Amino acid sequence: MNSEIKRIGVLTGGGDCPGLNAVIRAVVKTAINKYNLEVVGYLDGFGGLINNMAKKLTVASVSGILPRGGTILGTTNRDNPFKYPMIKDGERVYVDMSDHIMDNLKEMGVDALVVIGGDGSLSIAKEFCDKGLPVVGVPKTIDNDLSATDVTFGFDTALVTATEALDKLHTTAESHHRVMVLEVMGRYAGWIALHSGIAGGADVILIPEIPFEIENVCRKIKARKVQGKKFSIVVVAEGAKPLGGEMVVQKIIEDSADPIRLGGIGNVIGEQLEKCSGMETRVTVLGHLQRGGSPTPFDRLLGTRYGAHAVKILMEKKFGEMVSLRGTNIESVPIAEAVKVLRRVSPDSDIVFAAKSVGIGFGDE
């Protein structure tokens, strides 16, 4: 055991995600049972580090949380410590609170930190590592868009939620002879839309990586109607955009590490399809349903493996690294590599080929 590390901290940053509690549970139980460490949980993301909002975590603290969605620690996608918003002389200014946090950690006797988050939170984690804080990362996002890992926990649960929604939309679409448009999350990557669209039997899938032309989508729907198919299912990723056009931005959150909030493309597509196809069209925005609920067995298992290995690589002094799933093995990679570029769908991938081969349209032809 590494005697230099006696107390570790853990926090969850960014959007919530099914499986967070599985990771927290594994971090706590591994730290205590295997390495005889003390564990401190910071509340509400990096804000907990700034304001010293923390609680001691024990084996009893994490009992029964494995099937629970969300995070027992709370989270936020604001409070970047290196650009923390404050009001000074009536004006908003941004202050670097990282030294203040380093002092807080020293005062609480926290020797190292496990950061569970997406690209924004892990980028902040890397900056703290550059300041000399022993940090390891755990990749979290339903969007599955972190490079350097094959899968992020939370994605499978979001995929199940989206697929179940498509199953339900199928029955009402067929009954009323309608076009049903389902808008799903994913930010700048189309993984949720692509996987759920295939699994849910969609007729059209629109993703950010393959710009679409609405005329092509409409042609697909009309062709189905001629063939006697009086309904169609269209899955739209929130970051999908027309050829030569832009993504639909819902709003801008200035204090967030990721200020752009996408959303609204589903309604745009729905209106256009109703006009060009002459068919009644309804739009469902799945929204935060994808973030909630009990994690699937896959996400519980992956979260547990990630949490246990995060403590392991911390004790091996692999600071600045992130646990990663490669094939069927858990490895670790530099956080810098993980956040360098988003993992996006390749239009030439075998899964897109499979989708097109079974007749799914992407609006590109």
Q: Which residues of the chain have pLDDT under 50?
A: 1-2
The answer regarding whether domain 7-153+295-340 maps to CATH 3.40.1390.20 reads no
- This prediction's pTM: 0.93
Q: Of 86, 99, 21, 101, which Cα lies nearest the Cα of 57?
A: 21
Domain with CATH 3.40.50.450 in the chain: 7-153+295-340
**Contact yes or no for 326/150 (Cβ under 8 A):** yes
Sole residue written with tokens 């056009």: 245
Q: Which CATH superfamily is domain 158-292 in?
A: Phosphofructokinase domain (3.40.50.460)
Q: Is 150 a catalytic residue?
A: no
- How many Cβ atoms from other residues are within 10 Å of residue 85's Cβ? 13
For residue 3, the model assigns a pLDDT of 52
Q: How confident is the model at residue 255, as a pLDDT? A: 65
Note the pLDDT of residue 257. Answer: 61
Classify strands 260-262 and 249-252 as parallel, antiparallel or unpaired.
antiparallel
**Beta bridge mates, 342:** 146
| Tokens of residue 74, six digits | 């709370």
Residues shown for the chain: 365
What is the predicted pLDDT for the residue at 88? 86
Of these residues, 44, 143, 156, 203, which one is catalytic?
143
Q: How many Cβ atoms sit within 10 Å of the Cβ of residue 356? A: 15
Query: What is the Cα gyration radius of the chain?
Result: 22
Where in the chain do CATH 3.40.50.460 domains reside? 158-292
Burial 125-161 (b: 16+ CB within 10 A, else e): bbbbbeeebbbbbbbbbbbbbbbbbebbbbbbbbbbb
